[in-house]
Structures are given as C-alpha cells and as structure tokens.
Structure 1
C-alpha cells in the first residue's frame, strides 16, 4: 500500500473496511498483522489515504470473515479505489450504496444539509421514518415483506444513532423549507410527533442548528432540490451529495464543486429564519398555527 490522493472511492473503501473490522471484533494491529504491514498502513487505508493491492484486500477480508456478495462488492470498490483518474463526480453503482452513504455520514465532523418538502433523514422521528418508507415501498423498489420493511426502518434509525451519538467535536447544520413542516406525512398524529421530535433536538443539542426557509421567502437558489456537504476537518476534503428520489448515489469531491455547494448553503442560511425564530415557528405549526 502506498500513499495515494484521497478520493471518494478510497474514503468509502476505508470506511467500509473499518466497519467490517469492527464487526469482526479485530483491532487495527490484528489487521496489519494479517497483511504483514505496520499499523499506520491500516490507519491510512481506513482514512482513505492509501490504495491497497487486491491480494492485501483479500487477506483483510479473510481476516474479517467476509464472504459472498459483500466480499465481491468490497473487491469491486477496491478496484475503483486503485484507479488514478481525476473525476469531478463519482457515481456509486455497487450493491449496498446506502450503507456506504451511512458510513460517510457517520464519519463527517460537520454536516451541512438543505432539504425541500421533507424532514432530513437524521431529524426524522420513528413514526415519520416509517411513513416515508411505506410511501416509497412498491414504487421505487419492489414491495417488501413486513420483515424487510422493518429492516429498512431499523437501518434508518441506526443511521441516526451512529451520526447523532456524541463522539467528539461535530456540528450539524440544517436548512429546511416551511412546507416540510406543514406537509401531512401519513396523518396529523405522525406530523405532531415529528414536530415535537424536531423541537426536542433543537432544544437539547448545542451542536445542531435547524433553520426554516419560509414559504414567502423572496429568494431560494436551491428551489426544487436538496443537497448535503460532508466535511471532515483536517481528515480530508469535503464531499457533496445531491438528493435523488430514485437512482444511484452521485458524489462531488472536486474542491471547486464543494466550495460552490457550501456557498449555496451559506446563502440559504442567510435567507432562512435564525435558530430561535425557526424554533418558534416549529412550535407554532405544532400547535396548529
């Protein structure tokens, strides 16, 4: 393994290997021993700062007891990570893309997210999570069994647990549109639960800022869209992601692109209500105002 430029593919490979190592109950030193390298090589690999030959990747997967489809997916991701071409975007077409998105989300030190018409996933209450997934079931994927539906819901809630559980200095910044607060997802009871959940998050977390862009706002440079930028402090450059209802996950890692996305988010923050006024509006809508 040699030093390599950090890319989305290498970052995703590293995060996947970190998750698999932890699931297997292995230490970084044990992983390093499996490939005959020093521990710092595993650190670099898991941080997305190293490329790894296929034979070393196979040894790691053997060490972690990974087989079947997951093994083939990681090997394919490893092949992508070894490519040297510079691309402005990366489209994740491999199986289990939702898991790699969650890994990226959980590893970010700062999340800047704008959504229109829907409460962002990390802020959704359990009832709202269920309602949104049930709305999509049989439309964007084949109709699922009750057990499969519960697995999807559990995964969304696990994403929240992984990202929102305090694990060091992190910050979360959300701008959402007023119509996302007023929409009726499932029924009024679910929406009341959701608004109360959102208010509780705002009230209890100093690391989380929620701002609401009102319906009568005169400008909205992101009208009709949604996007998220994951930042990583000194552990790498930001990664951007545009929300898509259907289709593969596409990431932007070019610094010019992510700088534009962060500029757009800053503009949305300036146009939205501040934290206190947003909190008051959430309370007003919750009470039927």
Structure 2
C-alpha cells in the first residue's frame, strides 16, 4: 500500500495531485473525513486520492478548490492527471486535440470519443476488458473538456450510418447517445453529418481518420489500429486525406438532413421497446 508520507510528488501527475491535495487540506486544519463532509464525498475517497490510489474527477476538484480556497489549482491539475492515464500511444493525440483549432473526423463504425456519452464510452471501453472501467471511462470523458475552453475547436464529424445502427451498450444507451448528438444541432462549433448507406462506395472506405488543423503548425492526419495510433504531417498524406474529407462531406447528408436521420433512427430503432403482446417492456 502506498503511504502519503512517502508519496513522491515528482513521480507522476497523479502523485503530484495527491501531494497538493494533502498539503492544502492540512493547511486548512481539516481531516480527510472533515473535508469529505464539506465536499459531499467520503473521507475514504479523499484518502485514496491523496495516496494516488484513485483518480480525482473534475467535479471533485472543483468542490475541493472551493472548499480549500486553492485558486483553481486542483481543477488545473486534474486535466494533466487525466491525460497521464491515457495509453502512452494516445497521449500525443490527446495533446493534438487540446491544441487544435479545427478537428475533422470521419468514423466508419462508431461515434467519435469526443462526442460519446458516459454509457456509450463505458460499453466501448468495456469490450473484452472490464479492468478499471470506471477510471478509464472518466478519463475518456475528461477529454471532452476541450469544448469548454475559452476558444474551443471547431469540430466537424462525419459518421457512417453504421455508427447509428451498431447497437453498442443496448437500446437505452444508444437512444441517449443519439439524443446527445442531436443536442449539438444549434452549436455552430460542433457539427455532425451522417454518411448514409445510400452513398454507396465513398472516399472513406479505407477506414476512419482525423484531421487536426492548428493556428500555426502543420496539419496532422491521425489514423488508428489495434493498440497504436499513427499521427503524420506528411504533405502527401495530408493532401490525400483532406481531399477525401471534402468528398465525404459532399456525399454526407446536410446538417439538417443528418439531424433528421439521427432522430428517425433514435425513434425507430431505440424507441420504446414492446413485447410480443404489445405491452411496453422498457
């Protein structure tokens, strides 16, 4: 078991967070239980976070910052903590998402991680691996904080119709996920288009990819395979994928048409479930 008195604040962002949490708590003259009572968490959880055995959440960090008057220190640190928990191969991509001014994504099978609901993300991450599922889900959801920045990126997502129909997590999870996509209808910075099956052969048949555009740096193309990510600024690859994305957007439904399809699929496939006798079962 890790003891707080030997916790090395330089070992990792999580250790540093725990060290600072304990330092500020003790400076306020509070026990772990007392702080927990103030912020509506258990003293045990406070202790686990102080000893780097549990991940803090943004909500926990905000409450403790307010209770201890830390000036937002823990809320700033929690973003680093969450990023440090990502697989090593994905940490560079998370940094690209944080710095990008514009993100263009094509997904051939599922909803992009930046647009996933907790239930959908949990179902995706839990496939074949249930270990630390709560923490891994929290880490994925924390990436979406890029949309809360003072200058959030413009995000364009082209989803294959398959992403709407592949039932991940069950009907209720899918209904919630599609409703979440519809919540962006009036947000000019987050745009969702659906590439319908009727488009036939299209420019994204080789697979999903992202384009990251920055204020000053070169454009990055990102593709992914099992357990590894592949970002590149190769001009030929960037040119090819940019052209492909233009064609995907042209073949996709309009923003309004896409919302109509998402709403229709949500109701027809994931609406109220009925048994053979016609009675509601969900």
- Is this a same-fold pair by TM over 0.5? yes
Other structure's SS at 1:265 match: helix
Contact between 1:221 and 1:268, CA under 8 Å: does it hold in 2? yes
The answer to whether structure 1 residue 154 and structure 2 residue 138 are counterparts is yes
Other structure's SS at 2:159 match: strand
Cα pair distance change 1:184/1:109, threshold 3 Å: same
Other structure's SS at 1:194 match: helix
The answer to whether structure 1 residue 125 and structure 2 residue 117 are counterparts is yes
Partner of 1:172: 155
CA distance in 2 between counterparts of 1:240 and 1:157 reads 22
Q: Give the alignment of 1:75-86 within 5 angstroms.
A: none
TM-score normalised by L of structure 2: 0.63
Other structure's SS at 1:135 match: coil
Q: Deviations over 1:63-104 (max 9, x none)?
A: xxxxxxxxxxx9xxxxxxxxxxxxxxxxxxxx7222222111
CA distance in 2 between counterparts of 1:273 and 1:164 reads 24
Structure 1: runs of 5+ lacking an equivalent: 1-19, 25-73, 75-94, 138-142
- 1:250 offset after TM fit, Å? 1.4
Q: Deviations over 1:12-60 (max 9, x none)?
A: xxxxxxxx7xx88xxxxxxxxxxxxxxxxxxxxxxxxxxxxxxxxxxxx
Partner of 1:237: 218
Q: Deviations over 1:188-226 (max 9, x none)?
A: 0000000001101x2242111111000121331211510
CA distance in 2 between counterparts of 1:243 and 1:204 reads 30
Contact between 2:185 and 2:191, CA under 8 Å: does it hold in 1? no
Q: 2:232 aligns with which of 252, 259, 263?
A: 252
Q: Deviations over 1:132-186 (max 9, x none)?
A: 111141xxxxx52xxx21111011000111x221432631111010011011112
Contact between 1:174 and 1:210, CA under 8 Å: does it hold in 2? yes
Partner of 1:59: none
Contact between 2:147 and 2:153, CA under 8 Å: does it hold in 1? no
Structure 2: runs of 5+ lacking an equivalent: 1-12, 18-83, 270-282
- 1:281 offset after TM fit, Å? 0.6
The answer to whether structure 1 residue 134 and structure 2 residue 126 are counterparts is yes
Q: 1:225 aligns with which of 200, 207, 221?
A: 207
CA distance in 2 between counterparts of 1:222 and 1:169 reads 26
Contact between 2:90 and 2:228, CA under 8 Å: does it hold in 1? no
Contact between 2:158 and 2:252, CA under 8 Å: does it hold in 1? yes
Q: Give the alignment of 1:1-289 within 5 angstroms.
A: 96-137=88-129, 144=131, 148-161=132-145, 163-168=146-151, 170-200=153-183, 202-233=184-215, 235-244=216-225, 246-288=226-268
CA RMSD of aligned residues (A): 2.3
- 1:243 offset after TM fit, Å? 2.6
- 1:248 offset after TM fit, Å? 2.0
Cα pair distance change 1:98/1:168, threshold 3 Å: same
Q: Deviations over 1:108-150 (max 9, x none)?
A: 000010011101111111110111111141xxxxx52xxx211
Structure number with greater Rg is 2
